[in-house]
Structure 1
Amino acid sequence: MFRAETLKGLVAAGALAALLGAPVSTAQADDSQIVVFAAASLKNALDAINTTCEADVGEQAKISYASSSALARQIEEGAPADIFMSADLDWMKYLSDKNLINTDTEEQLLGNRIVLVAPAESAQEIVLEKGFDLAGLIGDGRLAMGDVQAVPAGKYGKAALESLDMWGSVETKLAQAENVRAALKLVAAGEAVAGIVYATDAVAEPGVKVIGTFPEETHAPIIYPVAQTAESSDEDAPAFLACLKTEKARKLFEEQGFTVLAPVSD
């Protein structure tokens, strides 16, 4: 059964920090180290890439993972990030419109899909199309997803549900989380009957299984842009950005289920 206190614990700042590594504050930042603010769904792939790229960059980056919305707002408030990796174009544009991004470095790096997951022992697989009774599947339980007002995965998920005429029937059954990985944990822990997450999150969590994939035409294209921030002066940041587009990085992104959109460089 879903417990409200469990959701609060998973999405509270302290628990989130333990789960993902909270965004660094100005006091915590090390001026000599590249600081990367990255969408939570990038964690597994980017942790591996950070290790792999160390030789090319000259150091490992300090990476903070959270929702794109939370990270963008922290950058707006002066958090010392050198690189921002968003899970959608909107939050990159939000910072770009405020002249907080070096637009010459911005690139559309990755693509993704959203899927419906359930606890791993679930045997049911479905076709997500108009007419499917998602509310019936959820029953008295909860549907976990990112905050539909701010978290990219939540916004994509709401758009897909609206497109399939499911939103009205499940809106009162939502367990909204601060980022997609927190939503994923609710499903893996059995606190939600199902969840809407990225396909890459499902790869990263053995406690869930994909039971359905949302048609791509039901939501805006899922694109992850990356850019150096306008305030960054770290000399190693361009090398980190370049390494994200190498063949070795491409393989690691694809192993986690991402589609690499940027041209691969040598």
Structure 2
Amino acid sequence: MKRFLLSVTFAVLSVLLFGCSNNNEPEKTDATVDRETPESKQQPDEEVALLISAAASLTDALEDLKSTFEEEHEGIKLTYNFGSSGKLAKNIENGAPSDVFLSASSKDMNDMEEKGLINNESRENFTSNVLVLITHKDSDSTIDSFEDIDPAALDHFAVGEPESVPVGRYTKETFETLDLWEPLQDKLVLGSDVRQVLTHVEMGNADYGVVYSSDAYISNDVKVLAESDPEWHAPIVYPGAVVKDSKHQEAAQQFLDYLTSDKGKETLQEFGFK
């Protein structure tokens, strides 16, 4: 009987002691839990990957801008898709992903605006260019004007495809003004973008070509023979805009703002843009 009473007494004391121990432990509130969460478990802000659809003539300048922009805009990474402005615009219209569209002509950007594919308020002309006549650096050509071109005296002439490549459109307008477009028809080598036109002349696949001054500027294999008269063709301006379906509107606008800043303009000028 005594053993039984001792056992019951011990059990009751154990329960009482355990209860007191729990009551003395501070209650963990939500705030306490938050304070105890290690920093390593806190999720960082999601990195933004911007896709920039840009005219091929902007290749070198934009590649140069990439590192400085990313250094000054932590969390934003740039990816470029270069090509002819007309094809890039068509791709965006057909649903291809893009955050920013940088065109080498107002016409292609106008088409995008009319179709409601860009944020109109973000549109801005950020640079301009000049049309130039080029030949291979080793050529002995004495031409010093577009007006001196003699279709009968050459075999191949490289130009951009005028329906989708802005430089081809400006070239066609120039040659039509000078009554050279039709006489040159059987001599033309069409490029899918301005860089392909440049390559044709660099490789010796064409006697002459028409590119932007910025493209000739970056090549060591061609020389400029002449500049076009601005009155022969539509103004060569480069408009940029945020694509309406972009999921990164704020970051896309930051990139455009950087492109039109003093740093952006300085870089473009370094690569032959006006």
TM-score over 0.5 for the pair? yes
Q: 1:46 corresponds to which residue? A: 62
| Partner residue of 2:177 out of 155, 163, 166 | 163
Deviation per CA, 1:141-183: give whole Å up to 9, x if none: 2111110222100000010011112112212110001101011
Say if 2:196 is the partner of 1:182: yes
Q: Which residue of 2 aligns with 1:100?
A: 117
| Residue of structure 2 in register with 1:209 after alignment | 223
Counterpart of 1:87 in structure 2 is 104
Q: CA deviation at 1:56?
A: 2.5
Q: Deviations over 1:123-143 (max 9, x none)?
A: 43433254x2431442xx211
2:95 maps to 78
CA-to-aligned-CA distance 1:31-62 (integer Å, 9 cap, x gap): 93000000000001111112221123323310
Deviation at 1:232, TM superposition (A): 1.0
Question: Which one-letter code corresponds to 2:70 in the other structure?
Answer: E
> How many equivalent residue pairs?
226
Work out which of the two has the higher radius of gyration on C-alpha atoms and give 1 or 2.
2
Aligned partner of 2:252: which letter?
A
Q: Percent identity?
A: 35
CA contact (8 A) 1:44 1:256 kept: yes
Q: TM-score, normalised by structure 1?
A: 0.81
TM-score (norm 2): 0.79
Trace 1:3-82 onto structure 2 (pairs within 5 A).
32-58=48-74, 59-82=76-99
Structure 1 unaligned blocks of 5 or more: 1-30, 260-266
RMSD: 1.4
Write the deviation string for residues 90-136 of structure 1: whole angstroms up to 9, x where unpaired: 11111111100000100011110111111111243433254x24314
Q: Structure 2, unaligned stretches of length 5 or more? A: 1-46
Are the counterparts in 1 of residues 127 and 239 from structure 2 also a CA contact under 8 Å? yes
CA, structure 1 residues 135+227, in 2 after alignment: closer, same or farther (shift >3 Å)? same
